[in-house]
Chains A and B, each alone.
Chain A
Amino acid sequence: MRKILLSSIILLAGLTFLARLSYLQIFSFSPNQILEDPAIKAVYDYPERGYIYDRNGELLVANQPAYDVMVIPGEVKPLDTLEFCGLLGIDKEHFVEQLKKARIYSPRLPSVLVPQLSKEDYGRLQEKMRRFEGFYIQKRSLRYYDTKSGANVLGYISEVNPWDVAKNPSYSAGELKGTTGIEKQYEEILRGQKGVKYIQKDRFNRDIGPYKDGALDTLPVQGQEITVTIDKYLQEYGEKLMVGKHGGIVALEPSSGEILALVSGPSYDPSILVGRERSRNYSKLHYDSIRKPTFDRSLLASQSPGSPFKTLNALVGLQEGAINTETTIQCFNGFYVGRRKRGCHCGGGLRDLHSGLYRSCNAFSAGVFRRFYDQFDSTGEAQEAWEKHMKSFGLGTFLGYDLPIGRPGRIPSREYYDRVYGANRWGPTYIISNSIGQGEVETTPIQLANMTAAIANRGHYFTPHVIKKIGDEDISIPKYTEAKHTTIDKRHFEPVVQAMAEVYNMGTARWLQVKDLDIAGKTGTVENFTRINGVRTQLTDNSVFVAFAPVNNPKIAIAVYVENGYFGSRYAGHIATLMIEKYLKGDISRKDLEKRMLEKTLEHEYAKPYSGQPFKINERAW
């Protein structure tokens, strides 16, 4: 017993050790832990982000260098603080405070002392830098915008948040990624691939040479440049026209679905979200709760389309045989829903398809709508047929364009009304407002533009998109190059197109004619409401205009939505024809009209609901 006591203890200890060691080294061991190893630092070599060009090869977005002044507190020697602060353009208290912060972070590791110096500041500093030990300048790459517009569609880049890092292992903290718009959508292409160098560190985090002599290091892959379908000058012009107005403009090329301009008003200069002032500017934009400049109205503003929607209802009526081009409907300066009369501005009289559309007769559209519904055995079936037709124009869906945000709008379904009114407890009179694009129907400006493009093409459209080229290669993405056909036969489009051309020649938009340019369009004047202190209050009508031109060989289809702009021909119509003229002719012949649009703002309208005073709407005077 005594003889083997010690030996047993020795054996026991040995076994315990082996058990613990096998636990540590065999069970807890995970082979892929190079990044968890505190002794290895991965230093990333960031490639330059790809440039963005417009459809004509004009530069939109490039990169610019910025210079961070870095400090390693432990290496700072006594210096002429005054001179140094003078060079950097900071005051001494700030300098001392920053230095203290850096020292608290680490005396041995570099910290940013002054971020993102401009080129000019850098120039002054550069030659004197060597006199200040412990400081050095680190170059970084920022986005440079060669345009003052397109902020909503181009998007911006910002630092990844912890959630991004957790979701996508190719990001690490502090890196930049596209957060909105094209920058986000084409992030993978623009970003390229970062290279990595593994550095061996000691416990003070100092570099002590490459890990395994760089055997695992990789080189960065440059980001590719992309060409987008946006027309830089059209976009800029659109934003100029939208100054002081809330709303959206979407211009498409009907033959391809390319987005020529995607304007959201009010907008902002994309450059303000770059550099030292970025966060201050962002807060300013973000907290502007009245103008909401970061809210892309061209993609997100889901509102009643108004009269432009009448064209679709007419098409559906034609397709289903509810009317033909000869059908006439009496307008009593309005129409009756049961015993209630709903108004109309067209002047009254017998209306057929042609005059009903170009004069935007409410009674005609309501009549078509009712005839369509009456053809079916039940309202529910009619609603299903109607919904199918409407959705074939891309309404009520996200459309599938290549930008990261959107709204589906609303094409109410049978189930929707069953839910609201109870199954089979509703009829066409309940939803008659849909006939004139009010009621439950909602669309976004890009959907309106797409719908217009489908009419312009007489029955098909291409999914709107902004990507044109990646690197030097034209895109060949089936989603964007294959036509989507509507459920309406091609032959039914011509009479509707003719009526839309008449809108411009002698209808509601006859004031807006451009010499030598035939445009087909449709105005919309949309009643809208808001809640002020819980009271439903009507605001000045929204001004809507959809158009395409030239009528027989459409090069551009456009939808303009100006909130509280009153008549469709007033703001939206002006802006739409100016945009078309700008795009097709290059310059504007109607200088007075242009001047008016550039100068007029609707700020007074937008101030009304916030004024706390009773206010008038739909004022005659401009």
Chain B
Amino acid sequence: MGWVNIYSTAFDESNPSIFNFAALYGKQLFFVGASILTIVIILGLEANFYERFATLFYLISLVLLIGLYAFGKTINGATAWYDLGFFNLQPAELAKMTTALALAKYLNDIQTDIKRFKDQLYALGIILVPSILILFQPDPGSALTFFFLIFVIFREGLPLYYLSIGVTVIVIFITTLMFGTVWLAIGLGLALGLFMLLKKPSFRISILPISLRYIAIIAFSLSVDFVYDTVLQQHHRDRFSLWLRLEKDPKKMAEIQRTIGYNTHQSEKAIESGGFFGKGFMQGTRTKGNFVPEQHTDYIFSTVGEEWGFLGTASVVIIFTLLLLRLAFLAERQKNPFSRMYGYGVICILFIHYFINIGMVIGILPTIGIPLPFFSYGGSGLVFFSALLFIFLKLDANRMNELG
């Protein structure tokens, strides 16, 4: 189990560099301890315990999420925490794990047929309920992570048709913003025409559905501007325009970099200044100067970039990629469908965090505030990510005992 080492090394090398003062550092160390304790407990429990009580866990976490509206503590505008004295508990982190469990259990149910529309709705509901509760905390970043669990359902047979529609919608949305409807229509028309000319005569397609789809795409594209201008709020628009480099005027761009794009700009600059080898451990000038906001949480990756350079960042990316691929491999070899589905849930959750976080820090995705698993400061995050992962490991370790 090579990735356990990977996990712990990544952990050790990044943690001390995150913190300027003992309090955060000490706390995080405490959570490392807590995580280890959790891991021991998880590994100690019987494997089918998780499947059996999945629904209960799920319900508990829903209750906790609802309870937030009454007893929650507000930090940075989001009522997402329970104040437990020494630390703050974030039930959303728990919900990620329990939702993955519940989803796996539901899909594994003998009566569930994912090809049925009704069951598709149910599965979607399991994901949507906690995510909506979180969305209104408001914590849209965390809510978003739940959507990625849909991939678990895809793995289990949800038609890929849904996925292709989703991807198409996103692509159209982005291209419309970048090039405008007219160019999109022309480009698409040209591509279609070219395709018609070059295709083999034997390959027949009917004109009507193609035309209908073409018209539908254009219509959607036309609606994008409307949605963009009226439904989205200004700070969303700013993030999009920053992300897609929509602003061409360098003066305004500089203005944006000072204001709404400050975080991204500073973190990009910090990473850039690291160069290939980095400035060395504890030598990050921008890190020391606290130039990157939220650097110990969401922007932890910029510290890695500045202090460890390309070597460090590339290692982290490679480690995460290997870890995720390894998990995918493990999931595929599970004999118990529940374990496999849960494994996919773990992958989805880890991946979406890793993808959005690093993408945001290096400026290729819009700003969405979610932590980098195992790196970012945060107690519940660390404990639950560990739990998430180790429950799967326990299941994996148990697969020999399962009946084929």
- Chain A residues in contact with chain B, CB under 8 A? 1-3, 5-7, 9-11, 13-14, 16-18, 20-22, 24-26, 28-29, 31, 33, 37-40, 200-203, 208, 211-212
B332 touches A28 (CB 8 A): no
**B271 CB–A CB distance under 8 Å:** yes
Q: A98 vs B171: C-alpha distance in the bound complex, in angstroms?
A: 55
B291 touches A38 (CB 8 A): yes
Contact pick for A21, options B154, B354, B355, B362, CB 8 Å: B362
Complex interface bits, B283-304 against A, C-beta within 8 A gives 1, otherwise 0: 1011011110000000000000
B291 touches A203 (CB 8 A): yes
Given contacts A6-B328, A39-B285, A200-B288, contact A14 B321 (CB under 8 A): yes
**Nearest chain A CB to B238's CB is how many angstroms away?**
21
Contact pick for B318, options A14, A20, A29, A37, CB 8 Å: A14
Given contacts A5-B154, A200-B288, contact A20 B273 (CB under 8 A): no
**Nearest chain A CB to B346's CB is how many angstroms away?**
11
Q: A436 vs B42: C-alpha distance in the bound complex, in angstroms?
A: 113
CB-defined contacts of B272 to chain A, threshold 8 Å? 24-25, 28-29
7 A-B pairs whose Cβ atoms sit less than 8 Å apart in the complex: A10-B347, A14-B320, A17-B317, A21-B271, A21-B362, A29-B275, A37-B286
**Nearest chain B CB to A11's CB is how many angstroms away?**
7
Question: Which residues of chain B from 320 to 370 have any CB-CB distance to chain A below 8 Å in the complex?
Answer: 320-321, 324-325, 328, 332, 344, 347-348, 351, 354-355, 358-359, 362-364
The dominant DSSP class at the B interface is helix
**B188 CB–A CB distance under 8 Å:** no
Interchain residue pairs A-B with the least CB separation, the first 4 = A39-B289, A14-B321, A39-B285, A25-B310
Residue in chain A with minimal CB distance to B309? A25
A17 touches B328 (CB 8 A): no
**B305 CB–A CB distance under 8 Å:** yes
A25 touches B348 (CB 8 A): no
A17 touches B358 (CB 8 A): yes
A10 touches B286 (CB 8 A): no
B289 touches A5 (CB 8 A): no
**B276 CB–A CB distance under 8 Å:** yes
A3 touches B285 (CB 8 A): no
A208 touches B310 (CB 8 A): no
**Nearest chain A CB to B154's CB is how many angstroms away?**
7
Given contacts A203-B290, A208-B289, contact A20 B364 (CB under 8 A): yes
CB-defined contacts of B276 to chain A, threshold 8 Å? 25-26, 29
**Nearest chain A CB to B73's CB is how many angstroms away?**
26
CB-defined contacts of A39 to chain B, threshold 8 Å? 285-286, 288-289, 291
CB-defined contacts of A5 to chain B, threshold 8 Å? 151, 154-155, 160
Question: Which residues of chain B from 250 to 288 have any CB-CB distance to chain A below 8 Å in the complex?
Answer: 268-269, 271-276, 283, 285-286, 288
A40 touches B314 (CB 8 A): no
* Inter-chain pairs besides A16-B364, A20-B363, A37-B285, 18 sampled, C-beta below 8 Å: A2-B155, A3-B332, A5-B151, A5-B154, A5-B155, A6-B155, A7-B328, A10-B324, A10-B347, A13-B351, A18-B317, A25-B309, A25-B310, A26-B275, A26-B310, A37-B286, A39-B291, A202-B289
**Nearest chain B CB to A38's CB is how many angstroms away?**
6
CB-defined contacts of A33 to chain B, threshold 8 Å? 273
CB-defined contacts of B313 to chain A, threshold 8 Å? 21, 25
A22 touches B288 (CB 8 A): no
B310 touches A21 (CB 8 A): yes
Residue in chain A with minimal CB distance to B311? A25
Q: A5 vs B344: C-alpha distance in the bound complex, in angstroms?
A: 12
CB-defined contacts of A14 to chain B, threshold 8 Å? 317-318, 320-321
B321 touches A11 (CB 8 A): yes
B328 touches A37 (CB 8 A): no
B362 touches A24 (CB 8 A): yes
B318 touches A38 (CB 8 A): no
Q: A26 vs B273: C-alpha distance in the bound complex, in angstroms?
A: 10
CB-defined contacts of A29 to chain B, threshold 8 Å? 272-276
Given contacts A6-B344, A25-B305, A25-B310, contact A17 B362 (CB under 8 A): yes
CB-defined contacts of B363 to chain A, threshold 8 Å? 20
CB-defined contacts of B151 to chain A, threshold 8 Å? 5-6
